[in-house]
Structure 1
Amino acid sequence: MGVILYPPTIDWSWMKQRPQHLMDQFATHGHTVFYFNKTGTAGQPVVEPIAPNLYLVHHAEYFLKELWPGIKPGQGTVYWTSWSRQLPRGRSVYGADYVIYDCVDDFPDWESDEQKYIHTADAVVCTADGLEEKMTALASSKPVIQVPNGCDWDFFRKTMFLNRSVPLPGMPNTRGPKIGYIGAWAPWVDERIIQALGERIPEAQVVIVGPRLREDTLAYPPNVHFLGYQDYSKLPEILPHLDVCIIPFHVNRITRSTNPIKVYEYLAAGKPVVSTDLPEVRKMVPHVSIAGDPDEFVRQVQAQLASPGRRQEQRSRYAQAFSWRNRYLSIQQHLGQWYPEFSDVTTPLPPISSPYAHEIPLSHQTVNSYYSQTVFHREPPWVGHMAAGEYRFVVKLDPSIIPAEAERVYLELDGTCRAEDGIILRLGVSDEPWSADSLSFSRLPSFKPLASIEANDRLQETFSFDVTSYAKLDHSVSFELSSPQPVVTRLGRPRLTCFVPTSEGGIRT
């Protein structure tokens, strides 16, 4: 299949995970890949080439409505998603010929969408035994294959030969071994293990590398260090310092079907690995050590620290079989049995004339029916209903600030609501003047309904309304956003996004 469309789930540059690695492999093997970021980015083209055959889509609305119809091949387009909420709901604005659901986690709140919309998938790829069993039962008429996670073996293998004499950034330059966890500091990490390691191996430093996605109540010893999120490119500077790498996960419904990418990456770097008793990691014994509780975890780490450098080469060679290239080849082989065209690559696409997106911040005013006479100046932008009243969000568009060469103009806001909340955002338009110094709920202009968007119809985390016709007027207009649901939706970055053609008439790199 020639063209792969990956809808927004994780930004390309954020915590390089399975989606980015697999899409990179599709592109490397000759498929054309369009990878959609979660939010639009100012100063970027709508479509940005980032590698041969691999394009990053910054503005889904414009791309799909204005560019995609002119470049879409006649057949062989795949919509590949690893998030159940991105399964098509009876229709697909992407217009793909095939839908592949890459099932990577067993999150309870994903289950409803899987049950409702798995029928829209033509095939299912799974990363773990538990997920394969679940999907085989749920999608009995679909091809279901298991392709676990993998690693960029060459990228991590080289860390075995790097110099560790340079101090680790963000860490005190002290003697003693280093025990490392690389990954999100999320609810599934067992903080008791980290505390036990710090207390019972005081001569070591426990290094946590990754974004903090939770708040902790435990007090950690001073030899536990949180380095925060580090870019993927920085990992080769960190790994040489680690003497033992750990996977300290709680064992629960979610982690029983977790196939951790980090275990393959640790092993590719030749590192000893100690993990809690996760079914997918247990398969890798004796190349990893399994611990049943915090006490045993500490003992296993101490045992690994007692024999530094042992079996380093064997661990790395073992991980070589799990490279992302091999994972891609497995996908191609299996899916090609059902869809022979999956093995085909695309013919070159026509040149893509990709305009640049320029953003113009908009001032806004929020009013609240509970305080119908009050003028708010610092209220954050909200729409919807609260116990304290109904909120409305009003912005003013001045056509004089819009570049004359703009070919399309969108009113955009980033929304933190979830698709399953069922939010409907309504847009109204008015020619009546108003002043931020006097605007209140009781003194709102009258707004004519213009458009609406449901949260699950958004292509990105951005609500986008095409207001091009209003941008061509010779006077200012105002827009009001409201929601009929009894919920609160926080909106941010109100802006006009103007799409201006490049002078070269094609993608500018």
Structure 2
Amino acid sequence: MKILYFAPIPYNGLKQRPQFIAELLAQRHEVYYIDPTRSVFKFKNCDFRSARYDPLPNLHVLRLSGIFTAYRSLEPFDFLHLNTISERVQLRNLASTCDLIWVGYPLWYYVVFLMKGKKFIYDKMDDNALIIQNRLLRRLILKVEPKIIQRADLIFVTAQQFYEDIEKQKPTTYLVPNAVCKEIPLLKSFKSDPGKKIFGYVGTISHWFDFDAIHAILGADERNYIVLVGPNEMPEIKHSRLSYRGIVPHGKIPEVIQEFDVCLYTFCKSPLLDTIDPVKIYEYLAQNKPVLAVKSRETEKFGGMLSLYNGIDELKEIAQKDFEEPFQTEEKRRQFVAENCWQARVKSIALRLEED
């Protein structure tokens, strides 16, 4: 089967759900991973030309030329859909010969909406209307996502909230949570200074990140230190016991996690929170690290494996305590990884594709 996989993120970016799923589908199918198009206007200092490379024998990464593509945020006013003509022309041959169209991001809609007669899959990874700050893009997402849902033959969602909202209108909706890489090794933990308790976070730092929680942890005990790892989109906090590491390669994440005594999932309480199935928590647990996380529908499902807090006062109290490893035996840790790895998730996806 030939699959056109319209991805939300570039293949060579931080490795997440889209890349893992595409790679595993490519073990049995021919997959064309379509990177987000780089507009000639938006990326003046970047390469907006088309590109193609093959990371695996059956996985082909394709970036369309953006020389005739303007900002996506203008598409609410593009009633003739002129902005996507160039992309549709470039995909004409692939679209006519593919068997399945996989959409991982709503803003691809006006590129794929004329591709008829193909099995259509929507993989809803995030609530993009809540994540995106651009008002015009949010408006476009709210306009086109219902059309994608109506068009889709199958829908895969990451969060229980998504499932409950969408399954009512589309019975062929299935919950496929995020996961962890099965091949990630369990590294030996090390502690550079027994007098310090290091709390660490791995992930993007943006408007959803709870800085009050960071201040609360630092204020709970003078032995508490915090390390933030990942791209930062917010003003930096200046504190002697807090440090920023910046971006690290995905393969180095287990090594970084092992430096932490406690791993953090400190997001703000908001409508967005219950829609996030955090990949980072799977990665933390795969390294058998204690996890301190804000309570949400998606963190409660991990049960006693996490230390959950509801508010700042509860967080301060927990941050003063000692933490235990989530798995008392290596067998239990391995079982968790086996049940929550990307291979298991794609196996369930493949079964649905065969049934449909």
Q: Which of 1 and 2 has greater Rg?
A: 1
Aligned amino acid, residue 219 of structure 2: E
The reply to whether residue 57 of structure 1 matches residue 68 of structure 2 is no
* Map of 2:153 onto structure 1: 122
Question: What code does the residue aligned with 1:87 have?
Answer: Y
- Kept in 2, the 8 Å contact 1:87–1:101? The answer is no
Instruction: Give me the whole-angstrom Cα distance separating, in 2, the residues matched to 1:239 and 1:197.
Output: 18
Q: 2:210: which partner in 1?
A: 190
Partner of 2:73: none
- Give the equivalent residue in structure 1 for 2:328: 311
How far off its partner does 1:47 sit? Answer: 1.9
Once the two structures are superposed, residues 55-76 of structure 1 have per-residue CA deviations (whole angstroms, 9 ceiling, x without a partner) of 111335799746862x667562
* 1:85 is aligned to 2:84: no
> Are the equivalent residues in 1 in contact too, given 2:306–2:326 (CA < 8 A)?
no
CA distance in 2, matches of 1:258, 1:251: 12
Whole-angstrom distance in 2 between the partners of 1:275 and 1:329: 29
The answer to whether the 8 Å contact 1:209/1:230 transfers is yes
Deviation at 1:209, TM superposition (A): 0.7
Question: Does the aligned pair in 2 maintain the 1:248–1:275 contact within 8 Å?
Answer: yes
Given that 2:290 and 2:306 are in contact with CA atoms closer than 8 Å, whether structure 1 keeps it comes out as: yes
Partner AA of 2:113 in structure 1: R
Distance 1:211 1:229 in 2: 5
Do residues 206 (structure 1) and 212 (structure 2) align?
A: no
Measured at CA, do residues 225 and 4 of structure 1 come closer, stay the same or move farther in structure 2, by a change above 3 Å? same
CA deviation vs aligned residue, 1:395-441 (integer Å, no higher than 9, x gap) = xxxxxxxxxxxxxxxxxxxxxxxxxxxxxxxxxxxxxxxxxxxxxxx
- Gapped runs of 5+ residues in structure 2? 39-45, 67-85, 131-137
Between the aligned partners of 2:327 and 2:343, the Cα distance in structure 1 is 28
Aligned Cα RMSD in Å? 3.0
Structure 1 unpaired stretches of 5+ = 168-172, 339-509
Name the structure where strand makes up a greater proportion of residues.
1
Which has the bigger relative contact order, CA under 8 A and spacing at least 6? 1
**2-structure distance, mates of 1:116, 1:133:** 18
Determine the structure 1 residue equivalent to 2:187.
161
Contact 1:243–1:308 (Cα < 8 Å) also in 2: no
Q: How far is the alpha carbon of 1:117 from its aligned partner? A: 3.9
Per the alignment, residue 224 of structure 1 pairs with 242
Q: Distance in 1 between matches of 2:166 and 2:91?
A: 35
Residues of 2 paired with 1:302 and 1:115: CA distance?
A: 46
1:220 deviation in Å? 4.5
Q: 1:88 to 1:79 in 2, by over 3 A?
A: farther
Q: Whole-Å Cα distance in 1 between the matches of residues 112 and 63 of structure 2?
A: 25
Deviation at 1:183, TM superposition (A): 0.7
The CA distance in 1 between the partners of 2:161 and 2:351, in whole Å, is: 22
Q: Secondary structure at the match of 2:14?
A: coil
Match of 2:179 in 1: 150
Which letter maps to 1:311? Q
Q: 2: distance between equivalents of 1:316 and 1:191?
A: 33
Deviation at 1:206, TM superposition (A): 0.5
Task: Evaluate the alpha carbon distance shift between residue 90 and residue 26 of structure 1 in structure 2; reply closer, same or farther with a 3 A threshold.
Answer: closer
Q: Give the TM-score taking structure 2 as reference length.
A: 0.79
> How many positions carry a matched residue from both structures?
319
1:39–1:243 CA distance, 2 compared to 1 (3 A): same
SS of the residue corresponding to residue 282 of structure 2 reads helix
Matches of 2:145 and 2:326, distance apart in 1: 45
Identity of aligned residues (%): 24
What's the CA shift for 1:175?
5.5
- 1:96–1:263 distance in 2 versus 1, CA, 3 Å: farther
CA distance in 1 between counterparts of 2:216 and 2:273 reads: 21
SS of the residue corresponding to residue 181 of structure 1 reads: strand
Q: Is the 8 A contact 2:187 2:254 kept in 1?
A: no
Q: Following TM superposition, by how much is the alpha carbon of 1:79 offset from its aligned partner in structure 2, in angstroms?
A: 1.6
* Structure-2 separation of matches of 1:113 and 1:80: 15
AA aligned opposite 2:108: Q
| In 2, Cα distance between equivalents of 1:86 and 1:73 | 17
Write the mapping of 1:3-82 to structure 2, written as runs, cut at 5 A: 3-28=2-27, 30-39=28-37, 46-59=51-64, 65=89, 69=93, 74=97, 76=99, 78-82=100-104
Q: Of 122, 132, 141, which aligns to 1:101? A: 122
Counterpart residue type for residue 124 of structure 1: I
CA contact 1:99–1:122 (8 Å) conserved in 2: yes
- 1:145 CA drift (Å): 0.9
Q: Secondary structure at the match of 1:286?
A: helix
Which amino acid in the other structure matches residue 125 of structure 1? F
TM-score relative to the length of structure 1: 0.57
How far apart are the structure 1 equivalents of 2:334 and 2:221? 26
Secondary structure, counterpart of 1:222 in structure 2: coil
Query: Does the aligned pair in 2 maintain the 1:57–1:63 contact within 8 Å?
Result: no
- Give the equivalent residue in structure 2 for 1:363: none
CA gap of 1:120–1:309, structure 2 versus 1, over 3 A, is closer
Equivalent position of 1:249 in the other structure: 267
Residues 104 and 131 in structure 1, CA contact (< 8 A), matched pair in contact too: no
Shift of 1:272: 0.9
Deviation readout 1:30-59 (Å, 9 max, x if unpaired): 111111223467599832011231111133
